[in-house]
């Protein structure tokens, strides 16, 4: 089974509007971390935001917030006030905290295009 599922291959948003990128995950581990990364066309992977499974509040980092619904196993990324520079691939990832290995699991990504 897929550990991370991103069901939106591509999304479009008008500049200055908010957009939600979906991510669902699958784990039986009580301790895990969820991450979002941005990959612009230049290729680098930029860490955006992190949510721990024990965190009581949704994570926020500037214009990024994570809508964490533990019971639904979803960790959607919300980008407010979209900017042209937000156009990129966005990857959701997870690491299980008690995993004896060190793997991070990535989703297949969502390509976001911000329209002027």
Partner 1 sequence: AAGVIQSPRHLIKEKRETATLKCYPIPRHDTVYWYQQGPGQDPQFLISFYEKMQSDKGSIPDRFSAQQFSDYHSELNMSSLELGDSALYFCASSLGLPWGQGVSPLHFGNGTRLTVT
User: Which residues are near partner 1 by CB under 8 A?
Assistant: 31-33, 35, 37, 43-47, 50, 52, 54, 91, 93, 95, 97-98, 101-104, 106-109
Question: Least distance (Å) from partner 1 to the CB of residue 1?
Answer: 16
Q: Would you say 41 or 116 has its CB closer to partner 1?
A: 41
What are the residues whose beta carbons fall under 8 Å from the beta carbon of 32, sequence distance 6 or more? 25, 52, 53, 94, 95, 96, 97
Q: Would you say 27 or 76 has its CB closer to partner 1?
A: 27
Cα–Cα dist 16/39, whole Å: 20
Question: Least distance (Å) from partner 1 to the CB of residue 36?
Answer: 10
Q: Would you say 15 or 26 has its CB closer to partner 1?
A: 26
């Amino acid at each position: 089974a897929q550990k991370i599922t991103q069901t939106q291959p591509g999304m479009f948003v008008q500049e200055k509007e908010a957009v939600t990128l979906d991510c669902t995950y699958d784990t039986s581990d009580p301790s895990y971390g969820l991450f979002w990364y941005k990959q612009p066309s230049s290729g680098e992977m930029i860490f955006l935001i992190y949510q721990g499974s024990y965190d009581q509040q949704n994570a926020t980092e500037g214009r990024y917030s994570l809508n964490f619904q533990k019971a639904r196993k979803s960790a959607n990324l919300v980008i407010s006030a979209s900017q042209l520079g937000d156009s990129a691939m966005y990857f959701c990832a997870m690491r299980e905290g008690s995993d004896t290995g060190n793997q991070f699991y990535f989703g297949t990504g969502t390509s976001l295009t911000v329209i002027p």
